[in-house]
Amino acid sequence: MTIFYADDDQDELDFFREALKLIDPSIECVTASNGREALQLLETIGTPGVIFLDLNMPGIDGEGCLVSIKNNARLKDVPVIIYSSTADTKDRYMLQAKGAFKVIKKIWGIAQLSREIHSVIVSAPSTAR
């Protein structure tokens, strides 16, 4: 399985990769450091099982990426999870209305993050498995 994650914070990208290793070392993690790079990479790689997006990125933010992904025939059925420290309840409803499978708050413990990612993978539509 391939999981895609876009975040402009390198420490967050590294932390996310480590959490994935706790779930299954064979999971491939493709990352991007901003929204524009995310959309470019998603056009060139195979279809990921799940896409995680930070909400606040320079240039094209997570919301803009979400809309572009959901308008892409190849990617529209891939579960997209907004993983952000700033999403409030109003944002959650708006993002889910735009196609986000789930909106989760950034987690600061690696074991807790691993559990959350695993929960998302097993509850996501079958394209994630």
For 68-122, the pLDDT digits (tens) are: 999 999 999 999 999 988 767 788 899 999 999 999 888 778 899 999 899 888 8
66/127: higher pLDDT = 66
**Is 2-128 in CATH node 3.40.50.2300?**
yes
Please state the domain extents for the chain. Answer: 2-128
Q: Collect all residues with Cβ–Cβ distance below 8 Å to 72 and sequence separation of at least 6.
A: 42
Residue 126 pLDDT: 59
Q: Give the predicted TM-score (pTM) of the model.
A: 0.92
Q: What is the mean pLDDT of the chain?
A: 91
Distances in Å between the alpha carbon of 38 and those of 34, 35, 89, 107, 121? 6, 5, 25, 22, 20
Q: What crossing angle do the helices spanning 62-70 and 35-44 adopt, rounded to 10°?
A: 30
101 with 78: CB under 8 angstroms?
A: no
Q: What is the dihedral of CA 116, 120, 121, 126, to 10 degrees?
A: 170
DSSP string, 85-110: SS--HHHHHHHHHTT-SEEEE--S-H
Convert the pLDDT of each residue in 79-91 to its tens digit: 999 998 876 778 8
- Percent of all residues in the chain with a pLDDT value above 70, rounded to a whole number: 96
